[in-house]
Each structure stands twice: as structure tokens, then as C-alpha cells.
A and B are shown apart, each in its own frame.
Chain A
């Protein structure tokens, strides 16, 4: 390449080549799809809103690709790519090129969506103000990951604070009265530009220091931060068994991701409902519905990471530390299942502590009494109490099952295999969201759909149940023959599956006492919900991965 700029731009793009191609393909694909389906999509406000989801995911991906850091992490530090320091170029030039590549890429994605992909759906997005916010976020993001490369925990905290601040600044023009000087986009743009300029200058200086061998951390601060972090969660007693140690590792690595996500989403939904909707009955019911679905929906993407050997790594191979442990594949699986169970329980505990109290204090709760009376009319006294409790247990079981559904894939150690299923899973989640919105907005089309699907739905569910049962039986047979899992573990898992499925089936039975076809269909759905075949296949995929 003849130009240093082109070479650096190529370096930036090549670091996440496949990812950029996926973003490009998604943008072009959605542009074509939305043009073809423009008419039906324009008729539904909910579907049009959901069409923003691929844009958000593209922007998140593009933002993630701005994580232009060392590929090989030495001393656990991943900062500005050190291999670029040997180039005969000034530090400022290299940093500017890298930052400019990130800016241009992310802005190009947003402008493509706002100006080309979404307009056929009559979705008019602002361009200037969001572009300003996005550009500021990219600059701050890259500045933080490069400057604070030696402070992993501090980096996460600062990133969260900055992201929240920029989000808040983004809402100021809408929230503040026009007489307030801070409601002016011009003033805010100038402020953000000033902040971004400061971040840029700091980055150039810090990377320059790193290039000269310094900037890897303040030796006096790091031990202090470590001591503070150690006081928060610290196990002081030795673990007695290998199983307990594995479970502890899994919990520490990724157990808090779902609870933290649920907490943040709960606060966001409640804040938006209380602040912007007036807290009426309809808005409250919508908020309650989304809050109830949130842990289950979040468990899908979190579960995709949970299924990997290491949640925080893209590498699917078993780490040397884990591969060398004297534990079986079954024990690895059990550790994941226990950590997932704790994670699901904690997520629901947080939701149940925070949400009902806030709803009771700030939103309209009169419909609670009406709903309780209606349930009393439709069901017996026993069912009236049993159904909410069973419903909660069912929701927790579903959350747990989504968390562990991909463990068999993650432990396979085959990226193409794993990521293909991840893409299919995310597409399935998007399709499910589209379906939910269509369901809510089209009562008559919905009824027609249900009536036409009913004659074959029970048979489809029965076929899925049979396929699952035979796959689980075949896997269990192989596990026993290869002695990958002990009889005791197989029996324990079988009892756990039977208990969980029985709970779901009993809930389905109580839910529809009079309408027999609905009751039987719910029983079939319950048989399909708790994974069996996939979990039984996990020790096989672990063995496949471990010995390659």
C-alpha cells in the first residue's frame, strides 16, 4: 500500500473483517427487505418500531469493532496495538487514523440506516444530533480503552459512567424547557466536541507514553484498587470438592451478568414508564408485561455467552486450566447448570424486590384488584393461589433453560458450528419479538392464525417431544457406554428434568381446567420446554473438544 492512511485503515478493518462484512450484509439485506415489505410494515406501529432493532444491533456491533486493541494480550493488558508502535509514524498520526476509522465506520452505519434503510417505512430519524452523540461515544470509548488499558475494572466503571452521561445529555433537548441554555443542541454539541477533543488529546499523550514504555498502570493505585475490589466479594474458605470449585469459577466469571442486566433493564423500564407515560393503567400493564418477560428474553443472548467455556472470551477451546482439571465433562456441565440456576434465581429475586415496590409507589395498581377478582371468578381458590406461584416457578425454569440451552454448542469448541447457531438463535429471538408485537396489534388476524394452526400444532409438539426424548436416550446411552458420566449423575439429572417438567405440566393443567384442547396443548408445550437432549449431548461435545 502506498499510503500510510490506507494501510492503517486496512489494519483497522482487517482486525474484524468478518464482523464488518456481517454488518454490511445486514444493512444491505434489511434495506432490500424493508423496501419489499414496506407496505405491510408501515401499517403496524409496533413492527415499524421493531425494525429499528437491526439498526441498534448493527450499531452495537460496529461500536464493538472499534475495540481496536492488542490481539495477543501480554500481562493481561490489551491497549493500543503495540505492533503499530514500530511504524515510522508519529503517535498522533497513528492514533488519529485509528480513531477516525472508528468514527467514520460507525457514523456510516448510522447514516446508512437513517437515510437509506428506514425511510421506506416512513421512519424519519434525526441525523445530526444522534450522529453527534454516536461520534462522541466512539471517541470516548476508544480513549478509555486505550488510556485505561492497565485498569480493567476501572475501565468498565468509567465506560459505564461515560455511557450513562452521554445518554443523559442526549435526552436533555427533549427534557429541558427551551429557555434553559442546556436544552440547545448547539450548546450541547459544542460541549460534547470540547469533551471529545480533550479525550483525543489525552489519548495521544497517553499512547505516546505507552509507546515509550510507560503508561501500563500506576503502581501505587493498582494495589489499592485491587484491595478495594477484594473487599467486595471474597471467598475466605477453601472449597472442599472439585465440583464446588468449578461452580465457584463459573459463578464468579459470569453469574452476575444476567442479574445485572435485569437490574439495569428494570430501572430503565420503570424510569421510562414513570417519567414519560403518566403512570396510567394501560402504561403500567405494558410495563408489567415487559418486566415479566425481560429476564426470559435477556437469558437468550446472555445464554449464548454462558454456553461458551469462558463467557468473556471469543475462544471456544477449553482453557488449559480447565482441561487439565481431574473432572469429567458431566461435572463441567453440572457446574454450568448450578451457576445458571443461581443466576436465574438472583435475577428474578432482584426483579421481584425492585419492580412491585416501584409500581406500587409510582404507578396505577387498581387493575391488580380487578385481575385478582377475575382470577377468582375463573378459577378455584386453590388455583387462584397456585397459578401465580407456579407461574413464577415456570418463568424461573424457562430463564434457567435459556441460560444453559447453548452449553452443548459452546463446549463443542467449533466456532463455525457455534456462531451459526448463535445467529440462528438471534434471528429466532427477533422473529419472536416481531411475532409478539404482531400478536398484540392484530387481534383479528391473530385469531385467524391460531384457528388455522391449531389442527397441526399438537402433532408438531408431539413430534418435537418424541425427537427430543429419543435424542436424549441415545446421548445417555453413549455417555454411559463411554463412561463420560456416572450413573448417579444421569439419574440425578433425570429426576431434576422430571420434577421441572412436572411442575410446568401441572401449571398448564391448572391454567386451562375446562378447555381440553388448550390444556393438552399446554401439556405438550411443557414437555418441550426443559432441555434434555442438548444437556445430554454436552459431555459428548466436551470430550470432542477436550481431546482434539
Chain B
């Protein structure tokens, strides 16, 4: 009896150490890009590599339901800019694209890439594709922001549109309007498979009821302009398609990856 408390203490210490070690090993790695440490999680093997771009201010953990499933059939990289030292007051789409390109290079992730972006991440994907058209093999945009829609919101629902004073203290937020200017002046996406998914789950919110048709139409119009574009409606999901309909997202990514493999010169996963 007198040894039991000490045996329990040994067991507790060992258990706690094991948990701590496992937790720290599972943390995303930090990749240095000119003094900014970006978080990155790489899983799976194969080509093309899927690059997951989360929306404004999001964390790569939001891809927790998608990334492991995609890792079963190709390499998949999720990254975010949380905790990166803010060396400049504003980050535009071009700067983010340059940073992403550098971090993929540092991490040894070779092109081609299938870009997957949610919300404003879709705009960052489009800027990247216009800057590096030869490295992009496909895109899956999940309820992406559209510059025409943002303009429409500012004109018709100004109080519900993005408020500059709310975001100006934060580099990505401060760069939103410059990014929209960049996307207007950028070249169209390359001739690769592009799927745009719109979350159309009904809502009681009167603002969402009013804007959803315009939002959906903006996606449809943009997709029509692409030679290999496809517009998909996801009625079981709202704006968070990657969380609310994660299996559907995995299926869409698989479709684009397979089409990219069929059309690539190598034609097979590494």
C-alpha cells in the first residue's frame, strides 16, 4: 500500500510526458521566409501537391477534416500566417503569393500545385495562378470572395460590407483593397480544371437571403468565363464549406487532381 502512491506518481509523470511529447510533435512546423515564420503541415505523397489556402485570419487547423483524407491520394500542404512576425503594415495578394511560393520552395514542395482556397483565400489563389501560371495544375475554390460581389455589397449594403477601420490594424486586412485592385489587373487563370463550390444552405438571416442569389450568380458568371470551369452548388453547407461539407470538398479535390494527372506530361503520381 505504501508504494502505491509513488507508483501512481511514476505512471502519471510518464503519461503526462508522453502526451506532451506527442502534442509538440503534432504541432505544425514553422518555415522561415525572410524573417516571417509561417506555419505549415505537410501530409501524404504524390503529385500534383494540393495547397490549402484558408480565408482571412484563419488557421490551418480548419482543414483538419479535409487534409488527412486528401493525403490518402496525394501530397497536401496546409499553411497559415498566424504568429508570423508582422514586419510590414500591409500584405497584398502579390506579397502573399510570393511568400507562399518561397515557403513551398523552402519546404521542398515541387510544382505542379492544385490550389484550394476558401473565402478570400480564393482570391489569393487567383493571384498566385496569375503570377505562376505554369506551376498551377488546377484550382478548387470554396465559396470564394469575388471582386464584383464586394463592389455590389459596398453599393447596396454598405453597413454589412467590410469595414476598413475593423481591419486596418492587421496586415492581411489592411491589404484587402489593394489585393482587389491586383486581381482586377491580373491575367485570367491558366487553362486548367477549376471548380467553384458555392454553399447555398438556406438561412433565416435576411441579409444572407438577400445576397445569396447575387453571391451565387457571381460565382456562376466567373466560372463560365473559364474554359475548364465548373460551378457546383453545395446545399448542405453555408460559407464554411471545408468544415460543413468536408467529404464533398475531398471529392472535388480528388476530381481536379485526377484531371490534372491525366492532362500532365508525367501523367502519374510520384
Contact = CB atoms under 8 A, between A and B. Distances in A.
Given A366-B204, A520-B22, A520-B23, A473 B13 contact: no
Interface stretch (B3-11, B152-160, B182-190, B256-264): B3-11
Interface residues of B, number: 33
A458 B23 contact: yes
A458 B16 CA distance: 9
A451 B83 CA distance: 5
| SS class, residues of chain B in contact with chain A | helix
Contacts of B22: 516, 520
Contacts of B57: 443-444, 447
A528 B136 CA distance: 48
Interface string B1-45: 110011011001101110111111011000000000001000000
A448 B82 contact: yes
A518 B61 contact: yes
B64 interface: yes
B23 A517 contact: yes
A372 interface: no
B19 A447 contact: no
B5 A473 contact: yes
Size category, A interface:
35 or more
A262 B253 CA distance: 51
Nearest to B203: A370
Given A473-B8, A517-B24, A462 B61 contact: no
A462 B20 contact: yes
Given A443-B57, A473-B6, A473-B8, A516 B26 contact: yes
Nearest to A451: B83
B2 A516 contact: no
A518 B27 CA distance: 9
Nearest to A43: B169
A447 B23 contact: no
B82 A462 contact: no
Contacts of B27: 454-455, 517
B6 A461 contact: no
B244 interface: yes
Contacts of B132: none
B5 A477 contact: yes
A472 B5 contact: yes
A487 interface: yes
B17 A480 contact: no
B64 A524 contact: no
B170 interface: yes
A245 interface: no
A366 B206 CA distance: 13
A518 B169 CA distance: 28
B71 interface: no
A469 B24 contact: no
A233 interface: no
Nearest to A524: B19
A465 B13 contact: yes
B59 interface: yes
Nearest to A487: B1
Nearest to B25: A517
A377 interface: yes
B244 A469 contact: no
A444 B169 contact: yes
Nearest to B12: A469
Interface in B75-97: 82-83
Contact of A472 (B9, B68, B83): B9
B65 interface: yes
Contacts of A473: 5-6, 8-9
Contacts of A366: 204
Contacts of A469: 8-9, 12-13, 16
B19 A523 contact: yes
Contact of A455 (B9, B24, B204): B24
A527 interface: yes
A459 interface: yes
Interface in B204-233: 204
B170 A444 contact: yes
A264 interface: no
Contacts of A470: 9, 13
B102 interface: no
B169 A458 contact: no
B98 interface: no
Contacts of A514: 64-65, 68
A477 B6 contact: yes
A466 B16 contact: yes
B243 interface: yes
Contacts of A451: 39, 82-83
A466 B244 contact: no
Nearest to B204: A366
Contacts of B169: 444
Interface in A509-548: 514-518, 520-521, 523-524, 527
A517 B26 contact: yes
Contacts of B83: 447-448, 450-452
A378 interface: yes
A345 B29 CA distance: 44
B17 A462 contact: yes
A270 interface: no
A61 to B, nearest CB: 38
Nearest to A536: B5
B26 A459 contact: no
A465 B17 CA distance: 9
Given A470-B9, A527-B12, A516 B204 contact: no
Contacts of A458: 19-21, 23-24
Interface string A432-457: 00000000000110011011101100
A480 B39 CA distance: 51
Interface in A398-439: none
Contacts of B243: 377-378
Contacts of B12: 465-466, 469, 527
- Residue of B61, B83, B244 contacting most chain A CB atoms (<10 Å): B83
B2 A480 contact: yes
A394 B180 CA distance: 47
Nearest to A443: B57
A520 B19 contact: yes
- Residue of B17, B20, B22, B83 contacting most chain A CB atoms (<10 Å): B20
Contacts of B59: 447
A518 B16 CA distance: 14
A506 to B, nearest CB: 14
A461 B22 CA distance: 13
A450 B169 CA distance: 19
A62 B20 CA distance: 46
B23 A516 contact: yes
A99 interface: no
Given A447-B59, A458-B24, A520-B26, 17 more contacts: A377-B243, A377-B244, A447-B57, A450-B82, A452-B83, A458-B19, A465-B12, A466-B9, A466-B13, A466-B17, A470-B9, A477-B2, A477-B5, A480-B2, A520-B19, A520-B20, A527-B15
9 contacts: A444-B57, A447-B57, A451-B39, A452-B83, A465-B12, A465-B16, A469-B8, A515-B64, A516-B22
